A and B are shown apart, each in its own frame.
Chain A
C-alpha cells in the first residue's frame, strides 16, 4: 500500500464533498448542511496534505520548523477569519466575501511567484504558473477595490478618460508580457515580480470604473477568477482536489454571475464596460412633472392600521439604518390588528442577490413572509398600502417606460398598482444607480422623509396608541 494512494483517496472524498456541498447549498433546507460537508472535506484535504503529501521527485521534507510554521499560519488565519466572520454585521457581508475572495487570489499569486524558479525549462508548467499568477493577482487587487467601494471608502465610480480602451490595452499588454515570460523564461525573478505588479494594477483598473451597485456582479466574477487561479495551481501540482474545487467554483461562479446580471436585465459586458449613472441621469430629469407630496407619521399610521393588506418593500437603506428589527416589530403589530403583511423582495434588493433575505432573517422575519418578485407583482393590485423603505431603483417605473434610462429593461416591483404608496427616504437624493425616480412624483405616492429607523420607531409607537 502506498501512502500516496491514501492522500489520493482523501482528495477524492474532499472533491465529492465540494460537489455535494454546492448542490445542497442550492436548496434552502439542505444549504447549511451542504456548507458543513464542504468545510469537512476541506479540513480533510488540508490535514491530509500536511501529513501525507510527497513530491514525486522527493523535494518534500518535513523539518519541525516548517511544520510549526505551517500550523502557526493556519492558526493565525483561523483565529482572524473566525473572528471577522462572527463579529461582522450582516449588512457588511458583501464586503467580507469580497475580502476573503481577495485572500484566496493573493494566495494563488504567491504560489505562482514561488514556483516560477522551480519550473524553468518546462514551458507547460510555466504557462500554468504565469496564468495562475496573473489571475490570482487581478482577483486580489480587484477584490480589495470592490471591498473599498462597498465600504464606501471609495464612493464615486472613478472615471478615467477612455478607460475602456485603456483597460483593453493594459489587458493585452499583460497577456503579451505573460506570454513573453513563458517563452523567454528569464532566470531572474525581477520580470516575474514586475508582471505580478502589473497584474495588480490591472485588477485595480478593472474594478475602479464600475459603480457600487454593480459590485455584487464584480465580486461574483472575481470569485470565479479565484476559482480558476486555484485550478491552475491544481494543474501544476497534478492535484485533483485543487483542480476540481477550483474549476467547480470557476464554472458555478460564472453561472451565478450571469444569473445576477439576468436579474438586473443587463448583459455582463454592460456591467464591465458600460458607465452606469453619472451623465445618464439627465435624460429623465427633463420630463418630470408633478410634485412631491409629504405625509406625516400619524397619517401613515392611520392608513396602515385600517388597511387590509400592506406590502413592505425593503431596500438597502433599511439595512444601512439598521431598521430590520423595527420593521419586524411593525409587521407583528399590524398582524395583531388583522392586517396582512408581506415583504416584497426584489432579486437584487440589498447589495447582493438574496442579501435582503439574509438581513431580514437576522431579525427573525419568517421565511414565508418574504415573497419574490414574480409572486408579489400580481398582488399589488389588491394591496392597500405599499411601504417602500430605503429602496429606490427596484421600484423605478423608468425601467419599464424610459428607454433612455440606464436601468431600462430591469424587472421591477410594480408598486404603482397599489392604492397607496408610501416611500420612506432620507432625502430626495437619487438611488444607488444615480437616477431620478418618477414614482415619487405620482399622485398616489406620499413621501415619508427621515432616517428609516427613527421614522419606523415613531410609526410603531404611534400605532400602539391607536
Chain B
C-alpha cells in the first residue's frame, strides 16, 4: 500500500497528464463521420509512432562500446521511423483523394 501511494505521489504530474489526455482523446474523436474512420485510424497510428523518441533516447543513453545494445536500438529506431513516416504518408495519400470535386 505504502509503495503504491509513494509511486502515485512521485508521479502525480504524469498521472494528471494521463487522465487529462484520456478525456481529450475521447472528446476529440467523439463526432467523427464514418467516412473518416480509416484516415483517422491511420493518422492515430502515425501519432503513436512517437515511441521513436523513446528509441532515440535509449540509443543516446547507451555507451558507444555496447555494440549489441546499439544494434538493437538501431532496429528500434528503424521500426519507429517506419511507423511515423509510413503512417503519415499513407494518411496523407488517403486524404489527398478526399478533395471535393465538382
Contacts and interface: CB of A to CB of B under 8 A. Distances in A.
B28 to A, nearest CB: 5
Contacts of B38: 93-94, 97, 352-355, 357-358
Contacts of B73: 69, 73, 110, 114
Contacts of A108: 51, 54
A119 to B, nearest CB: 11
Contacts of A80: 78, 82, 86
A248 interface: yes
Nearest to A50: B56
Interface string A88-129: 101001101101110110111011011100100001100000
Contacts of B69: 114
Contact of A252 (B29, B34, B58, B79): B29
Given A115-B58, A249-B25, A42 B50 contact: yes
A36 interface: yes
Contacts of A32: 92, 95-96, 98
A28 B98 contact: yes
A241 B53 contact: yes
Contact of B28 (A42, A50, A66, A252): A252
Interface string B11-47: 1001001100111111011111111111111111111
Interface residues of B, number: 83
B28 A69 contact: no
B72 A113 contact: yes
Interface in B42-78: 42-64, 69-70, 72-78
A239 B11 CA distance: 12
Interface stretch (A56-64, A284-292, A399-407): A56-64
Q: Among the interface residues A106, A227, A243, A251, which one has the most CB atoms of the partner chain B within 10 A?
A: A251
B56 to A, nearest CB: 5
A104 B49 contact: yes
A253 interface: yes
A334 interface: no
A22 B89 contact: no
Interface string A23-49: 101111001101110110010011001
A62 B60 contact: yes
A379 to B, nearest CB: 18
Interface stretch (A156-164, A169-177, A203-211, A362-370): A362-370
Contacts of A255: 25-26, 29-30
Chain B interface mostly helix, strand, loop or mixed?
helix
Given A77-B77, A84-B86, A354-B37, A256 B29 contact: yes
A31 B44 contact: no
A247 interface: yes
Nearest to A69: B74
B42 to A, nearest CB: 5
A3 interface: no
Interface stretch (A218-226, A315-323, A421-429, A451-459): A218-226
A107 B76 contact: yes
B47 to A, nearest CB: 5
Contact of A243 (B17, B62, B95, B98): B17
A118 B80 CA distance: 21
Contacts of B50: 14, 18, 42, 45, 230, 234, 241-242, 245-246
A66 B35 contact: no
B34 to A, nearest CB: 4
A57 to B, nearest CB: 9
B85 A229 contact: no
B37 A352 contact: yes
Nearest to A47: B56
B41 A256 contact: yes
Q: Among the interface residues B7, B53, B63, B72, which one has the most CB atoms of the partner chain A within 10 A?
A: B53
A324 B69 CA distance: 48
B77 A73 contact: yes
B53 to A, nearest CB: 5
Contacts of A38: 43, 46-47, 88
Given A22-B25, A252-B26, A61 B14 contact: no
A421 to B, nearest CB: 24
B57 A248 contact: no
B33 to A, nearest CB: 7
Contact of A372 (B3, B18, B34, B51): B34
A256 B42 CA distance: 11
B25 A251 contact: yes
A77 B36 contact: no
B48 A111 contact: no
7 contacts: A35-B43, A93-B38, A108-B51, A251-B24, A256-B32, A353-B34, A361-B97
Given A22-B28, A46-B56, A62-B60, 10 more contacts: A32-B96, A69-B70, A73-B73, A78-B81, A85-B90, A90-B97, A239-B54, A248-B25, A252-B26, A255-B29
Interface of B: 3, 7, 10-11, 14, 17-18, 21-26, 28-64, 69-70, 72-102
List the 6 closest pairs (A to B, CB-CB), nearest first: A77-B81, A251-B25, A81-B86, A81-B85, A353-B37, A85-B89
